[in-house]
Amino acid sequence: MPVLQQPPGAPVVIEPRLSRRAQRAAERRRQRRQRRILAAITAGVVALAAIVLFVVRGHSSSPDKSVAAAGARTQSTLLLSLRAGDGSAAASVLLADDPAHHQGAEVLVPGRVIVDAPGYGSHPFAQVLTLPGAGSLSRAALTDLVGVTVDGYWTLDQTSFGRLVDTLGGIDVRVDRDVVRRTAGGGGQVLVPAGRQHLNGASAWAYATYVAAGEDPTAQLPRVQTVLDGVLAKMPRDEAAAGRIVGAFRGATDRSTKQLAHLFVGLATDARGSDLTYTQLPVLDVDTGGPLPTYRIDSAKVQQLVKTSFAGSQVADGDGAGRRVLVENAVGTPGLGASVRDRIVKAGYVFVSSSNFPPFGRAQSLVLVFQDTPGAQAKGAALAKALGLPVTSVRFSPRGQSVADIVVILGRDYRS
């Protein structure tokens, strides 16, 4: 360490020599000053910590509920379908139960509402059940239509549903009108009379799927609800007992017996506690000129329904800001859009629809973005990666459109 030299000519300073008593007094004064400084520093640190904590908490006495809610989904959902003899859905209900908040929901889905079946284009919802992939395809179509995560599906035909009701010992319902089967010569046979009735499996099916002559198809939906309520009223409260019942008549499903039992026991509990809401999916008439009515969803009312009854299951990035994806199949392989749709959704994008893009046989896929910005390019690149396509497939297109933010044109290089 260098020694500091006294500059030439500088006055020499001689420190006075203190007595031992004076030295001890000076030491005590020095220690007292150190303690005061340390106390001041400590107080300052505590005050600063309090300020930081106040800022982090967002100037609120309670934590941010939206942050707590994210990643803490407690609601489970299921698409229940009754399959008619021709393979279509005779009835469809979106079920939801949230045991953490004691809330259940039933949404009755009109069979004639138009949906996009991934890979197969637009169809009435009831007809999606006749396509390859049936239950899973219907589940995906309903998820995209409503903007709600549908966890699984359960499809029962007439035999399975009838046996389920019979195993429960039948159900008690109020029938709104005679269920009539038309006979030759213009007559009819009453299968289920109006009024308070105890229905077995066959009668419950007949009532749930009945549409009288001249009725709008949506008139059937309250009958579906009535029968389902009768089933819930008879469902055991014990999940093990409920599991033995639903497990014996599982039909077609992607849910385990335990998952089905848990959901239906939860719904039965909701119904007994008056915590179960009933809603028809809001739709509007579409004038197609055909003999049968056709519907489309009432978007504003559906959004309100989602916020009210399905907030915990709303699809992430539900507004689709910059992430709405349209798929064009330029290969020609039937149903190719279904596998693409699943990858799109898992990557956090919103699947809009899919359609064919002739002429078929295109070699290379394209991911088209319509904004020449780094953000749009980044979204396109991330989507390309999720689909297993090279980043070179991302292109800017100046031909703007309002249907989607990204258009994927599938070529033979895409591997499903």
pLDDT, residue 414, reads: 93
Instruction: Give the pLDDT of residue 317.
Output: 53
The set of long-range contacts for 213-218, using a CB threshold of 8 Å and a minimum separation of 24, is 213/182, 216/293, 217/110, 217/111, 217/112, 217/292, 217/293, 218/110, 218/280, 218/283
Predicted local distance difference test score (pLDDT) of residue 29: 54
Give the model's confidence band at 12: pLDDT under 50 very low, under 70 low, under 90 confident, else very high: very low
What pLDDT, on the 0 to 100 scale, is given for residue 287? 80
What is the residue extent of each domain of the chain? 22-61, 76-313, 324-410
Whole-number mean pLDDT of the chain?
A: 83
pLDDT level of residue 404 (50, 70, 90 thresholds): confident
More confident residue, 365 or 57: 365
CA angle 56, 57, 61 (to 5 degrees): 160
* Number of other residues whose CB lies within 10 A of the CB of residue 149: 18
**375 contacts 351 by C-beta, under 8 angstroms:** no
> What average pLDDT does this structure show over 317-327?
72
Give the whole-number percent of the chain exceeding pLDDT 70.
Answer: 81
d(CA 138, CA 126): 9
Q: In Å, what is the CA distance from 198 to each residue of 179, 303, 388?
A: 14, 38, 56
CB neighbourhood size of 181 (10 A):
12
CATH class held by domain 324-410: alpha beta
**Mean per-residue pLDDT, 152-176:** 96
pLDDT of residue 290: 76
Segment 184-242, tens digit of pLDDT: 777 789 999 999 999 999 999 999 999 998 899 999 999 999 999 999 999 999 999 99
For residue 393, what pLDDT band results from cuts at 50, 70 and 90?
very high
pLDDT for residue 8 is more than 70: no
| Whether the predicted pLDDT of 133 surpasses 70 | yes
24: Cα separation from own chain's centroid: 76
- Per residue in 273-313, pLDDT tens? 999 999 999 999 988 777 888 999 998 999 999 999 998 89
Q: Are 117 and 145 in contact (CB under 8 A)?
A: no
> 76-313: which CATH number, 3.40.50.2300, 3.20.20.30, 3.40.630.190, 3.40.710.10?
3.40.630.190
Residue 320: per-residue pLDDT: 56
